[in-house]
Chains A and B, each alone.
Chain A
Amino acid sequence: MQKTALYERHRQLGAKMTDFHGWEMPLYYTSILEEHKAVREALGLFDISHMGQVLVTGPDAVTTLNHLVVSDMTQVGKERACYTLMLNERGGIVDDLILYRLGEAEWLVIVNCATHAADVEWLTGHAQGGTTVADISEGRAILAVQGPRASRVLEEILDAKVAGLGRFAIAPIRTMGPDACIARTGYTGGAGFELFVPNAHAKRVWDAVLTMAKPLGALPIGLGARDTLRVEAGLRLYGTDMDAQTSPIEAGLDWTVAWNKTAFLGREALLRQQREGVARKFVGFEMSQGPVPRAGLELAAVSGKAAGLKVGAVTSGTYSPILNKPLGMGYVEPAYAAVGTPLAMTVRNQRHTGTVVKLPFWKGERTQPALTSGAPTVERLT
């Protein structure tokens, strides 16, 4: 199994390790629910070095990417980022990813661990002109620092005004070598940052954040809480909530699509779906109590002609220690996707009823800082 630069740290902290797509990663250190709460209330530190880092460069890089993703890359400014999707010709999602524009002709692409190799191949196969696709993951780490205390702690450690970094902005950390960056992005739905650094700096940053933030209630966070946090924030997980058979319209991610873009892979299929409609819609539902909705459970209609009949299935679910209730996400027939629609699931011969709600489930602390342009440069790691 592959190990990240922080593997020893996870063992020292007593983490329960798990095999995540060939990577030996921490599942939890103490408790998924405690770690979850630490991120919402103070700060959580994640090692997400298993994710792929790909550099796409060259004068035609923007043309290459604009053909491959649904959003308009010409609208992404320097040192800004964009969450978007790559589609196949049938309009199915190849992967969801964040693109960071480091320079006019330089993009950092963060891809999912499970789709890493396929994405590099996909990008390389579609490279236009003199575009270079370089997988720079080897020897590099990603640390996520998430939660309301994140900016205060990182300002101390990096000695820079990271609080001024707008949402989806990225800035270089010059002292940590080429392509070392800090971005205001994350997978928790709350405030936070991600640091892309060479392995040589990973332990130092990890230790510094934990040492400084521990008195504030910070904890190291495993993949268990990473999953419960993203569900609470209504964020889809590729391979679980969507795959190559799912369209952005079904997944409720059509907000990422730049419909006025004249050409991109999957556009025709997507336009057809927009005209003709789709057979299922992604929804979030919550229950006041009961068992945790598990992936694969059938969702049935509660009222009307179809009462008791299957209208969909769960793809993700968890128990939220912040909202104190079970939460689920999945696909249902469009007629059952409206907010307020009751849905039933049967667990161990007992029927439990939930209600479709607007995503995200957790809406707190979603203060959107002004979209500042000129991102500050992070100069020094003390």
Chain B
Amino acid sequence: MAYPSELLYTKTHEWARRDGEEAVVGITTHAQEELRDIVFVELPKAGRAVKQGEAAAVIESVKAAFDIYAPVSGTIARVNEAVSKSPQVINQDCYGVGWLFAIRPSSQQEFTTLLSSGAYEKQLQAGTHQ
């Protein structure tokens, strides 16, 4: 399953999983395939407040650096230190061990602005795919 249906998606290729009080965030299969060769990850500090759409992390591939945007506003609750140590796990398992950070959302409202897996796949087919 390239785009699990239990996740919510952003147009900028992040996914969010609602998990109790938190939203766990990572990048999609499409993003991981486009970036390829991930060699460095810069994660936000726990406790940092982020706004929806704000650059919260940076992923560097061999070729270039890319911003990762917060799918919803809130406070960074936890970060995944495992991806800092072995960035390539994002390429290997972007929905599992390759998650990036968890946000404690400031409101539930913003989740309604995110895409379902179907809508996200439609967006991919419409434009960015070559």
Contact = CB atoms under 8 A, between A and B. Distances in A.
Interface string B35-77: 0110110100000000000000010101111000000000000
Interface string A302-344: 0000000000000000110000001000000000000000000
B40 A32 contact: no
Interface in B17-38: 36-37
Interface residues of B, number: 12
B62 A291 contact: no
A31 B37 contact: yes
Interface string B86-98: 0010000000000
A348 interface: yes
A291 B37 contact: no
B62 A319 contact: yes
Contacts of A28: 36
Contacts of B60: 291-292
A137 interface: no
Contacts of B37: 31-33
A33 B40 contact: no
Q: Which of A224, A292, A294 has the most CB of B within 10 A?
A: A292
Contact of B62 (A228, A290, A350): A228
Interface string A265-309: 000000000000000000000000011101000000000000000
A56 to B, nearest CB: 37
A292 B36 contact: no
B39 A292 contact: yes
Nearest to A319: B39
A348 B59 CA distance: 12
Contacts of B58: 291, 348
A31 B38 CA distance: 10
A31 B36 CA distance: 6
Contact of A291 (B36, B40, B88): B40
A350 to B, nearest CB: 8
B76 to A, nearest CB: 16
Give the contact-size bracket for chain A: 10 to 19
A292 B42 contact: no
A33 B42 contact: no
Contacts of B64: 294
Interface in A14-69: 28, 31-33
Contacts of B63: 32, 224
Contacts of A318: 62
Nearest to A33: B37
Given A228-B62, A291-B60, A326 B40 contact: yes
A111 B14 CA distance: 44
A318 B17 CA distance: 33
A318 B61 CA distance: 9
B62 A33 contact: yes
Contacts of A350: 42
A32 B36 CA distance: 8
Interface string A255-270: 0000000000000000
Interface in A344-368: 348, 350
A31 B39 CA distance: 12
Contacts of B40: 290-292, 319, 326
A127 to B, nearest CB: 41
Nearest to B62: A32
Q: Which of B39, B42, B62, B63 has the most CB of A within 10 A?
A: B62
A319 B65 CA distance: 13
Contacts of A291: 40, 42, 58, 60, 65
Contacts of A292: 39-40, 60, 62, 65
A258 B39 CA distance: 41
A36 to B, nearest CB: 9
Contacts of A290: 40
A24 to B, nearest CB: 14
30 contacts: A28-B36, A31-B36, A31-B37, A32-B36, A32-B37, A32-B62, A33-B37, A33-B39, A33-B62, A33-B88, A224-B62, A224-B63, A228-B62, A290-B40, A291-B40, A291-B60, A291-B65, A292-B39, A292-B62, A294-B64, A294-B65, A318-B62, A319-B39, A319-B40, A319-B62, A326-B39, A326-B40, A348-B42, A348-B58, A350-B42
Interface of B: 36-37, 39-40, 42, 58, 60, 62-65, 88
Interface of A: 28, 31-33, 224, 228, 290-292, 294, 318-319, 326, 348, 350
Given A292-B60, A292-B65, 6 more contacts: A32-B62, A33-B62, A291-B40, A291-B58, A326-B39, A350-B42
